[in-house]
Amino acid sequence: MKANTHFAFFDEGSKKEIRRATLKAVAIPGYQVPFASREMPIARGWGTGGLQLTLSLIGQTDVLKVIDQGSDESVNAVSIKKLVQDTTGVQLTECTEEADIIQSRHRIPECSLTKEQILVLQVPIPEPLRAIEEREYMTKRMHAEDDYSGAWLMLFEQIMKFGKTATTADHPVSVHDRYVMAPSPIPRFDNPKMDHSEALILLGAGREKKIYAVPPYTSVKSLAFEDYPFTVESFEGAHCHLCGAEGVFLDELIDHEKGATIYQCNDSAYCIEQLNKQEKVEVESTYA
Burial of 18 (0-12, 13-18, 19+ CB in 10 A): buried
Q: State in angstroms the smallest separation of the CB of 19 from another protein.
A: 23
Write out the H or E segment, with its range, that includes residue 14.
helix 12-27
Cβ pair 106, 68 in contact under 8 A: yes
Q: State in angstroms the smallest separation of the CB of 85 from another protein.
A: 11
Q: Which is nearer to another protein, 43 or 283 (CB)?
A: 43
Integer Cα distance of 154 and 166 in angstroms:
10
Residue 243 known to be catalytic: yes
Residue 70 known to be catalytic: no
Residue 30 known to be catalytic: yes
Cβ pair 139, 133 in contact under 8 A: yes
**Contacts to another protein from residues 93-152, by CB under 8 A:** 125, 130-131, 134
Contact between 85 and another protein by CB under 8 A: the answer reads: no
Contact between 260 and another protein by CB under 8 A: the answer reads: no
Of 35, 15, 8, 14, nearest to 211 (Cα)? 35
Name the catalytic one among 47, 49, 206, 265: 265
DSSP class of residue 233 equals: P
**Contacts to another protein from residues 152-181, by CB under 8 A:** 161-162, 166
Contact between 5 and another protein by CB under 8 A: the answer reads: yes
Integer Cα distance of 253 and 277 in angstroms:
24
Name the catalytic one among 50, 89, 243, 259: 243
Figure out which of the listed residues 18, 21, 57, 83 binds another protein, where binding follows CB under 8 A: 83
Catalytic residues: 30, 240, 243, 265, 271
